[in-house]
Structure 1
Amino acid sequence: MKYQLRKKHQLRIWMLVLFCAHFNFSKAQTIIETSFETSDYSTGSLSGHSWSMDQGGMANVVSTASYVHSGMQGLRLYSTSEGVELNHEAYDKHTTGLSGTVYLDMWVKLLSSANNEVLQIAAYDLLPNGSGRRSLLFEFNTSDVLRVYNGSSKIEVSSAYYVIGEWTRLSAKIDYSTLTCEAAVNGNVIDAALSFRDSYDASSMGRSVDVKEYHALRVNYDTDTKDIAIDDVYVGTTVISDIPFSSPSTTRTVTVNQPEYATITISPQKDSYEVGDEVSVSIVVDEHYQFSGWTGTLSGNLNPTSFTVDVNATIGATVEVDPINPPNEFTIVVNQTTGGTVSLSPSVGPYYEGSTVTLVAAPAIGYAFSAWNGISGSSAEQTITVASDLEVSAVFTEVTNEGRTISVANASQLEDALDDMQPGDHILLSDGLYEGVSTSLNTLGGTSAAPVVIEAENQGMAMITGDAYFSLKNCAYITFKGLYFDVATYTLFKLQGCNHIRICYNVFKNVGDGGSKLILIGDGWDNTECVSHHNRIDHNLFDGKYDQGAWVVIDGSHGGTPQVSQYDRIDHNHFRFNQNRATNEKETIRIGMSDLSLSAAFCTVENNLFEECDGDPEIISVKSCDNYIRNNTFLKCLGTVSLRHGDRTEVSGNFFLGQNKTAEFEGSTIGCGGVRVYGKDHKIFNNYFEGLTGSLWDAACTLTCGDAYNEGVTNSSDLTKHYVVENLEFTHNTLVNNASDIEIGYRDDWGKAPINCLIANNIIVQNSNQVVTVKTSGKESDIHFADNIIYISGTGIWGDIAFADNEASNIDPLLERSDCRAPATHCDVLLPTQIYKLTSNSPAINASTENTFVYVTADSEGQPKIGLRDLGADEYNGVDEISNGVLDASYVGPNAVPFVESNTLTALPFLYEDALDLMIYPNPFSGSVHICCDGNGLVCIYNLAGQCVDQFEIADSYEWTAPEKGVYLVVVNRKGKIDRLKILAQ
């Protein structure tokens, strides 16, 4: 495209020809030379000529006089609400741009802008890695402020040089050789040599450190209404003749980075060089080493060599050990001690004689570095020259803190207290709202002896709201307790490389933001080592999740050898109403990921209540090894516990209660399921499955085919496959009247049948459906049944397998539906719901004569076996107390009472829901409150210390007067049925 040049630019070119002839420069280049005239631009939307709009707003070529500086047309840049970004990209990030000295000249008029937002004009160097570096940067707004940047500092231009709202000429000379700029406004040069706005980081450039170039011009304006006129734009290497910029620099520098074990010599050696000078370079290498090539400006391995100076040059060399004549080699052994770690750089030997190694002692939280053993020096970082074998350790001293009690009353005070936390601190949140708390904590917290506790002064009365988040990195021994979260956020708690973080006795009313992961425990994504471990989430209410995304995620580090966080515990929580079904990525809990699935998590999920958690086909998605899913209750949850990836997980002591719930999703009926299995060496025992409505993927026990075998995984992309069920033991479970009890062999197109699986010592009662469904004939051939009771009545049938006598017996197990915690002699305390349990004459008692399992030492209620272990999940034991059973809200969440056989009430934090048969009004109240219940009962009212401050009998209703202001817990016992409710006396 040919541009029409104005007279002043013709003069520029003529002067540059003379200038370049004198200094032997290359031919001048013009990047932009336009006044948006009809010869090149038609009126309307700006297009072509390397221009683009990368945000909202409009860029139009117009003929309106107020937007035209010269000629007949100019450019209007405007928007009524959103940001605008106009780019002229002459060279993309992979193309060589302009180096040396580049000139910019343009006319700009800012007609209007709302809220005094700032207009910015910048020249960019686009790097191959996708980032950019600004050299020149102008900015101005409608409040008569015009600035130019000198590095990160702003220089305000004298208002004598311009008038906002009128045409302003902005000019610059940008020297990519010296990384300096000169700027002019209306022809007046700013009295400063300006450094580039952005510095260059050699490690992230993606190209030679010596190469700095012009690639693009950008005009941007962030938000709100703006109206901008632009005209007469020039970018190129031609000198701007009518502005007194200094002459282009002809001097260059040569910097030598001397390598270890060698010396680089340059000749001639001077402080500065003229463009065109010839410089020779040579290197002399120490004994035991060899030169392998030049780095920086030079390339190749010619020694000596020479080059012609044209840019600021940097010269280095790669020097390696001579494999034929290497130096002496020594070892450095680091003995790690309590209170911190010692790291080496380089971290791995061999360590040659004369080489340098840096040792860094990093104290753990609550400790300080004291001294070195094995080397001298008093600082925590020491660099040594290796001369012999070494054995090194650091001495760390525990820091003694008295522990502070810090009271906070708003978000700002809380953030300050968190940023300043010390071991032993107790941060108390007063009642009230804490809007948008946001904090990022790094290497803070407490110790096992002096943890940090962040706690509501009155549990449940400090509410965290808005777009809140708590980002913790390398933190330890911090507890978040008794808070109420009603937030709209992507990740509320993000833990990276943390240990012993506890999140407990909280309420989470999460509305999400369209893809939230409320709690994420893991490490830096690319970290080569995962140091996250022993974190705990317990006694919380997770109440309602209606957006996409998992509720709780156990993640890890994905660099090097991927590793999931270890020894985390999720217990005594109430997860309810995970709604709005999705096909994926809406699990209530996920433990691991596909690429982490070969690593062991040792994560325990126990004593939780999952109520109507329907968001994902996988209620709990296990994608790692060696986990424990035990003693949980799954109530009307449309989905399964899915052992999706990984090996050796135990699923035990759980209660899966479907209560005949189904739903429609994407044109199909979905139901409540039990456990779906992939991978090897899993153990599923002591579980109770009743009234489940799922099939196919969602049977009580689902054993599909796989599309990969468990051995020989060499490619990380293979980890997303469905690995064959192998060496599964499904034993001592009780299944009662499910829509589908056991399903085998779905997805014949995957082709790989289960291997060496055992289904033994179970009780299955079926009165209306098929017990075993084989989806693909023959896929059950390596699934072995032994010593099961499979009792068929009504219209129930065994299904696709005809069992031998030693595999299954069709006899009545004589179960009794009961809500007693133990047999009738111990029926003083009742379970939340009735389940089927053994009676005294059951043929299942002491019947596991052939198949015994050393890990099955107790039953689903935690009672030890008497004699031989009984078949099914229940042991007929009228002697020992139980420690597990069906859960309701009484035993989980912030108000949990211990699951013990007595009904003695211990101190309770607070309750989060109204009991179904208990009504108290008004609440909060002043003076007296009305307590109403269905029937007669005994009432005990507790204070927060767990003391019963009043006790009385109630017959339908009672008016109670509080002795003083505060939070109380009302407990009503009606023939073993216990209702509880928190009340507030004001």
Structure 2
Amino acid sequence: MRKAIFFSLLCLLGTGLSATAKDYPVSSAKELSALNLKPGDRVLMKEGEWKDQQLKFKANGMKGRPIVLMSANPGKTTLNGNSTLDIDGSWLLVDGLSFIKGSLDSGEVVNFSEKSFSCRLTNTNITDYNNADDKADYTWVSLRGSHNRVDHCLFQGKSHQGVTMVVWLSEKPNYHQIDHNYFGPRPELGRNGGETIRIGTSTWSFHDSFTIVEQNIFEHCNGEIEAVSVKSGRNIIRNNLFYECKATLTLRHGNHSEVTGNYFIGNGKPGTGGVRIIGEDHRVHDNYFQDLTGTGNSAAISVMAGLPNPILVSHWQVKNAVITDNLVVNCKEPFAIAAGYRKDRYLPALNTYFAKNIIVANSDPLKWYDEKVVVKFEDNLIFSTSFSGEKGRGFELRNEQLKKSADGLFLRPGQADFKPFWKSEQVGPISFLYLNKKIIIN
């Protein structure tokens, strides 16, 4: 019997599941800072209003035994005033907080420190955290460090200067993950600095990030022309929904990124856009575009003209873009070639490959802003009454109608019915219940 108990204890300790983990109730940032936290510990924030509290969550957990900072009563702990949170350590988990109607002058509401590693922000809400001066420039979430995750959170109502969420680069790749979040309405700012997500900066744009952005909903994110601005290399933006956004997913700087499986639903709203391509070796494939009204830089798929002798903040020449297997339905400008072309921005895209795309259009699906650009077209299907095809072969005209799924999405020929992720998975915090909301597809 003793041997069995001893062996069980050894197994428990060997897997890191010792019985020493503790719960620590706290009622202020000062009490949090005073704790000496160990792997497996939980910090339980007292329910109620936390005003002007600068939370410093600094500790080091272990894989499988994170240290948790959470509301003692989920959804009942509200931070406001100038309250902020700094996540500084490894294997730290923040769960179930709400930042509502606070205000900062600068900095960030939630910050993952440069030393943060494998930390996670989940089930958390930041809403209307706005300075009265809309030129006050601060970020709601800053991701530094590496291998951190932001998931099942809600961000909505940002009306002041500054990006909602920023991935900051360093000499080493980030490997961050941003998934299953709801990014709600953001009104037009009227100037730069209104992005919803930005991965990198112009000055760091030749560094690789390896950040994944997936299964998020961007609804009415209209802060500026870029809803998601990629300014680094080797990122994956996949299986997200951009719903009635007067903004685009822009590969603004950096190379070797992939945009796949995303949905862009415009419902005919003014200025709604798709994907904008700048830089080298990007892949844009298996995306869905419907009823977008944007043109030029805001077309469904836009390949930009480049600047000669570019500096880091310039529009670099497009090279080796691979655009395949996309479905573009009833968009005002399905494919814009050399968008942004002007006398000083004239470098043509080189080695662009446009193949196996399906376009449904009542007008010519190709818009040429520079007639000199050469694009290789191959095996595309065009459902159109006015496609001229004068730019070369690579298109097959079809007359039949595409079928629709039960949820109103057009299906590719031979594609079986399916449920998109926002119909089958939880997006945003548990209390948000996005599955009970409806995405209407006209």
TM-score (norm 2): 0.87
In structure 2, the residue matched to 1:581 is: 189
> Residue by residue, what CA displacement relative to the aligned partner does 1:550-602 show, whole Å, maximum 9, x if unpaired?
00000023xxxxx3651100000000111133321111000001121111111
In structure 2, the residue matched to 1:688 is: 288
> Residue by residue, what CA displacement relative to the aligned partner does 1:494-530 show, whole Å, maximum 9, x if unpaired?
22221111000111113233222011122xxxxxxxx
In structure 1, the residue matched to 2:74 is: 459
> Residue by residue, what CA displacement relative to the aligned partner does 1:597-635 show, whole Å, maximum 9, x if unpaired?
111111000000000000021100000000000000000
In structure 1, the residue matched to 2:9 is: none
The residue identity in structure 1 corresponding to 2:97 is L
Residues 1:459 and 1:673: Cα distance change in structure 2 (over 3 Å): same
State how far apart, in whole Å, the 1-side matches of 2:180 and 2:358 are. Answer: 28
The residue identity in structure 2 corresponding to 1:777 is E
> Residue by residue, what CA displacement relative to the aligned partner does 1:314-348 show, whole Å, maximum 9, x if unpaired?
xxxxxxxxxxxxxxxxxxxxxxxxxxxxxxxxxxx
State how far apart, in whole Å, the 2-side matches of 1:502 and 1:619 are. Answer: 23
Larger Cα Rg: Structure 1 or Structure 2?
A: 1
In structure 1, the residue matched to 2:167 is: 554
Answer yes or no: is 1:748 the counterpart of 2:321.
no
Answer yes or no: is 1:450 the counterpart of 2:65.
yes
State how far apart, in whole Å, the 2-side matches of 1:437 and 1:696 are. Answer: 46
In structure 2, the residue matched to 1:705 is: 305
State how far apart, in whole Å, the 2-side matches of 1:412 and 1:599 are. Answer: 38
In structure 2, the residue matched to 1:641 is: 249
Q: Give SS of 1:815's match.
A: coil
Answer yes or no: is 1:837 the counterpart of 2:358.
no
Answer yes or no: is 1:569 the counterpart of 2:170.
no
In structure 1, the residue matched to 2:402 is: 815
State how far apart, in whole Å, the 1-side matches of 2:123 and 2:56 are. Answer: 22
Task: Give the 5 Å matches for 1:72-91.
Answer: none
How well do the aligned residues superpose, as a CA RMSD in angstroms?
2.5
Q: Give SS of 1:887's match.
A: helix
State how far apart, in whole Å, the 1-side matches of 2:350 and 2:201 are. Answer: 24
> Residue by residue, what CA displacement relative to the aligned partner does 1:375-411 show, whole Å, maximum 9, x if unpaired?
xxxxxxxxxxxxxxxxxxxxxxx99882211122445
> Residue by residue, what CA displacement relative to the aligned partner does 1:187-212 show, whole Å, maximum 9, x if unpaired?
xxxxxxxxxxxxxxxxxxxxxxxxxx
* Contact 1:708-1:721 at 8 Å conserved across structures: no
In structure 2, the residue matched to 1:731 is: 324
The residue identity in structure 2 corresponding to 1:480 is V
Task: Give the 5 Å matches for 1:249-648.
Answer: 402-417=20-35, 420-440=36-56, 444-473=59-88, 475-486=89-100, 487-489=102-104, 490=106, 491-497=108-114, 498-513=116-131, 514-522=136-144, 532-557=145-170, 563=171, 565-648=173-256
- 1:771 shift after superposition: 1.0
- 1:488 shift after superposition: 1.4
> Residue by residue, what CA displacement relative to the aligned partner does 1:929-968 show, whole Å, maximum 9, x if unpaired?
xxxxxxxxxxxxxxxxxxxxxxxxxxxxxxxxxxxxxxxx
Task: Give the 5 Å matches for 1:741-820.
Answer: 741-745=334-338, 746-749=340-343, 750-767=345-362, 769-779=363-373, 781=374, 783-793=375-385, 797-798=386-387, 801-802=389-390, 804=392, 806-812=393-399, 814-819=401-406
The residue identity in structure 1 corresponding to 2:409 is I
Residues 1:913 and 1:732: Cα distance change in structure 2 (over 3 Å): closer
- 1:691 shift after superposition: 0.6
* Contact 1:410-1:433 at 8 Å conserved across structures: no
> Residue by residue, what CA displacement relative to the aligned partner does 1:229-276 show, whole Å, maximum 9, x if unpaired?
xxxxxxxxxxxxxxxxxxxxxxxxxxxxxxxxxxxxxxxxxxxxxxxx
In structure 2, the residue matched to 1:117 is: none
What stretches of structure 2 of length at least 5 have no aligned partner? 1-15
State how far apart, in whole Å, the 1-side matches of 2:356 and 2:206 are. Answer: 30
Task: Give the 5 Å matches for 1:102-121.
Answer: none
State how far apart, in whole Å, the 2-side matches of 1:471 and 1:431 are. Answer: 20
Q: Give SS of 1:499's match.
A: coil
The residue identity in structure 2 corresponding to 1:811 is R
State how far apart, in whole Å, the 2-side matches of 1:638 and 1:888 are. Answer: 23
State how far apart, in whole Å, the 2-side matches of 1:691 and 1:478 are. Answer: 42
- 1:912 shift after superposition: 6.0
State how far apart, in whole Å, the 1-side matches of 2:55 and 2:47 are. Answer: 20
- 1:412 shift after superposition: 4.2
Task: Give the 5 Å matches for 1:878-897.
Answer: 885=420, 887=422, 891-895=426-430
* Contact 2:29-2:56 at 8 Å conserved across structures: no
State how far apart, in whole Å, the 1-side matches of 2:425 and 2:25 are. Answer: 31
State how far apart, in whole Å, the 1-side matches of 2:283 and 2:435 are. Answer: 38
Q: Kindly indicate whether structure 1 or structure 2 has the higher relative contact order, using CA contacts under 8 Å at least 6 residues apart.
A: 2
* Contact 1:748-1:776 at 8 Å conserved across structures: no
Q: Give SS of 2:312's match.
A: helix
State how far apart, in whole Å, the 2-side matches of 1:770 and 1:620 are. Answer: 28
Residues 1:565 and 1:545: Cα distance change in structure 2 (over 3 Å): farther
Q: Give SS of 2:411's match.
A: strand
State how far apart, in whole Å, the 2-side matches of 1:447 and 1:675 are. Answer: 39
* Contact 2:426-2:434 at 8 Å conserved across structures: no
The residue identity in structure 1 corresponding to 2:191 is T
- 1:422 shift after superposition: 2.5
In structure 2, the residue matched to 1:911 is: 432
The residue identity in structure 2 corresponding to 1:818 is S
Q: Give SS of 1:798's match.
A: coil
* Contact 1:598-1:646 at 8 Å conserved across structures: yes
The percent of aligned pairs where both chains have the same amino acid is: 29
- 1:693 shift after superposition: 1.0
- 1:913 shift after superposition: 7.4
State how far apart, in whole Å, the 1-side matches of 2:334 and 2:54 are. Answer: 48
Count of residue pairs the alignment pairs up: 414
Residues 1:401 and 1:586: Cα distance change in structure 2 (over 3 Å): farther
State how far apart, in whole Å, the 2-side matches of 1:624 and 1:915 are. Answer: 36
In structure 2, the residue matched to 1:64 is: none
* Contact 1:613-1:637 at 8 Å conserved across structures: yes
State how far apart, in whole Å, the 2-side matches of 1:891 and 1:916 are. Answer: 11
* Contact 1:405-1:425 at 8 Å conserved across structures: yes
Residues 1:603 and 1:456: Cα distance change in structure 2 (over 3 Å): same
The residue identity in structure 2 corresponding to 1:551 is T
> Residue by residue, what CA displacement relative to the aligned partner does 1:905-940 show, whole Å, maximum 9, x if unpaired?
xxxxx23679569xxxxxxxxxxxxxxxxxxxxxxx
State how far apart, in whole Å, the 2-side matches of 1:583 and 1:412 are. Answer: 39
- 1:425 shift after superposition: 1.2
Residues 1:449 and 1:886: Cα distance change in structure 2 (over 3 Å): closer
